[in-house]
Structure 1
Amino acid sequence: MSRDAPNIIDQAIAWHLRQEHMAAEDWEGFVAWLETPAHARAYDAVAMRDRLVAAAAFPEPDAMPIAANDDQPASRGWWRLAGGGAIAAALALWLVPTTFGSHATETVYATSDGERRDVRLADGTQIALNGGSLLRVSGADPRSVALDRGEATLHVVHDAAHPFELRAGDQLIRDLGTTFDVLHTGERLSVAVAEGSVLFQPDGAGLRLGAGDTVTMAADRRIVRGTLPTAAVGGWRSGDLSFEGIPVGEVVASLRRQLGVDLRIVGDLSRRPFTGMIHVTGAADRDVPHLAELIGATWRRNGEGWVLADRATATR
């Protein structure tokens, strides 16, 4: 084990305990921390043990033994163990804590650009996370999730008595028995339905979307409805990206999520609308030049990254 492991475990525990009270800037720091694979593995280990502890049955406080020289019962909560070494040892040895906090702790799943992750919830719902995504699952209600950023394709197990809900920003999407894709960025929120239906509620005015229906809400809250072949919904999983009138800046962001490379735009190219389909092979040295050709741009390597520029501007 790396000498840094105990320190990483301490950090993972600290992030785990802070989540209920974190502000927006804290979440940004948390996502950045998770981009290191060792950090993500440590956090997953802490969250898993948290769930195991929550599911375990422990004696009532009155039944707990008290040492003869103790005036007070043992401290409550495994997070109150002394210092980093003790906490790391508790995790490594799976020590059973005296009890667990009464508050429900949400579970966070995060991916860095170029990384994908499949999540299976307790009810059997399956979620595929694209790169650069952050998903939170409520500890109080596992059929309530929040996509803080990124893209996810969901295959939801239907339960009429307990609808599945996904929140993206301040918008709520309620499942009515379906498979659907959600993209949430700082620029827009898009929902596309592959089968079944969902209820999209911008500002409380419900829009029902069926198979092949799409809805996009821009940052100015303007809503555009459309259609998409159901086979193309969640196409990012097979490397197929579909765009209709989407600014090039967002197209590039989609490719960045897929490839996990530094891909930047210079000039005014980012605002140009693009309509078309792009197949991503996963090889940046093929996919970036192909994108540049489709959007009428030049490309160049910049160290480990890539830079795109408007072709007309580059030839001046």
Structure 2
Amino acid sequence: MDEGVVRQVARAQSHSVSPHEPADVEAAAWMARLHAPDRTEDTVAAFRAWCAADPAHAAAFEHMTLVWEVAGGLHAERASLSPPPAPDVPSRRLVLAGIAGGLVLAVGGIGFWQRAGATVYSTAVGEQRRVTLADGTRVILDTDSRIRVRLDDKARRVTLVRGRASFTTAATDPRPFEVEAAGRHVQVQPGVAQLDIRRDADDVTVTLVDGGAQVVGLPGDAAPVTLAGGQQLATAAAGVRLSQPNVADAIAWQGGRAVFRDDTLAAAVAEMNRYSAVKLAVAPEVAALRVSGTYRVGDNAAFARSVGTLLTLRVVGQGDRLTLVR
């Protein structure tokens, strides 16, 4: 990271949001050093000492993380719902630009190393994003999703905060790879694995496309479940369910599509609403009607017209809301 650029952004932002310009500039410099490829344990120790020397230092470092959020570098890397080909491993400058836009360093009693080393990637409603992590793992984020990534010398850990993400792990990295979502821990076996994880509040669905993985921390103290390629594990408060779905349907979202196979209209509408600011609703008397087909996500008006024609329904519009009625 270009430390001069970091300081320039820090100065510009600190005049409007912080009275502690010298500490902010120092915090920006520390952020650059902590994310430099030549970072050492001495750097981390010096950072701890700097934070401990003055409460204003720790506050300035927290402020710097907010500055990066305001800077908005994240938007340049976000993709539309027609995702481009997966990028090659990005250059150092591109990786750091992503950090600048998406970095949120947690503040709390979890240790300075974790605070400085966690990187956040997220998408808004209607967006998808492809990123390559520092270890070579490729990630696709679905609409309205958020992950927190922490890579250290011993392990690679990702937290799915909300939404859905697909992971294709790097084959040559020997460190354990784990994804945590709502207390479920998906531990990927060594080698290349492709997995899709969706979180809806505390309900988590894991689809293993290829490779091997084990899921632990299941509700009701259920025993760990080992997954093979093509299997799906759905976990909820009521228990767990292991199945072997149509994998192509399960990962169709990566191509901007939603596949319904005899789903209720209410369920289909709920899925389509994840991708659009134009919200759909269904009248109670038609909610149980069945829907099948493949639909492009992000265009709820087109979906409503298509389903209305197929099921002989009317589409009633009011503001940014469309209601399907008999």
TM-score range normalised by the length of the shorter chain: 0.5 to 0.7
Tell me the distance in 2 between the aligned counterparts of 1:260 and 1:47: 36
Report the equivalent of 2:228: 210
* Counterpart among 188, 196, 205 of residue 181 in structure 1: 196
* Counterpart among 247, 256, 261 of residue 273 in structure 2: 256
Tell me the distance in 2 between the aligned counterparts of 1:268 and 1:198: 43
Q: Secondary structure at the match of 2:206?
A: strand
Contact 1:112/1:133, CA 8 A, preserved across alignment: yes
Report the equivalent of 1:196: 211
* Counterpart among 292, 295, 314 of residue 279 in structure 1: 295
Tell me the distance in 2 between the aligned counterparts of 1:243 and 1:273: 12
Report the equivalent of 2:80: none
Aligned-CA RMSD value: 4.4
* Counterpart among 180, 185, 190 of residue 172 in structure 1: 185
Amino acid at match of 2:178: E
Structure 2 vs 1, CA of residues 305 and 208 (structure 1 numbering), >3 Å: closer, same or farther?
A: same
Contact 1:167/1:173, CA 8 A, preserved across alignment: yes
Contact 2:233/2:240, CA 8 A, preserved across alignment: no
Structure 2 vs 1, CA of residues 199 and 238 (structure 1 numbering), >3 Å: closer, same or farther?
A: same
- Once the two structures are overlaid, the 10-residue window that deviates more, 133-142 or 145-154, is 133-142
When normalised by structure 2's length, the TM-score is 0.60
- Correspondence 1:104 to 2:104: no
Offset at 1:160? 7.7
> Within 5 A, what are the aligned runs for 1:41-120?
50=31, 52-55=33-36, 56=39, 58=43, 75=54, 78-81=57-60, 102-105=112-115, 106-120=118-132
Q: Secondary structure at the match of 1:138?
A: strand
Q: Percent identity?
A: 22
Report the equivalent of 2:323: 307
What are structure 2's unaligned runs of at least 5 residues?
1-11, 19-26, 72-110
Offset at 1:186? 3.0
Q: Secondary structure at the match of 2:239?
A: coil
Tell me the distance in 2 between the aligned counterparts of 1:286 and 1:154: 30
Tell me the distance in 2 between the aligned counterparts of 1:274 and 1:220: 25
Tell me the distance in 2 between the aligned counterparts of 1:108 and 1:300: 39
Offset at 1:154? 1.1
Q: Deviations over 1:108-148 (max 9, x none)?
A: 22222101112221111111111121212236577211112
Tell me the distance in 1 between the aligned counterparts of 2:301 and 2:129: 24
Q: Deviations over 1:155-189 (max 9, x none)?
A: 11146842211111121112223112111113732
Offset at 1:277? 3.8
Contact 2:272/2:297, CA 8 A, preserved across alignment: no
- Once the two structures are overlaid, the 10-residue window that deviates more, 107-116 or 256-265, is 256-265
Q: Secondary structure at the match of 1:174?
A: strand
Tell me the distance in 2 between the aligned counterparts of 1:151 and 1:59: 33
- Correspondence 1:149 to 2:166: no
Report the equivalent of 1:227: 245
- Correspondence 1:242 to 2:254: no
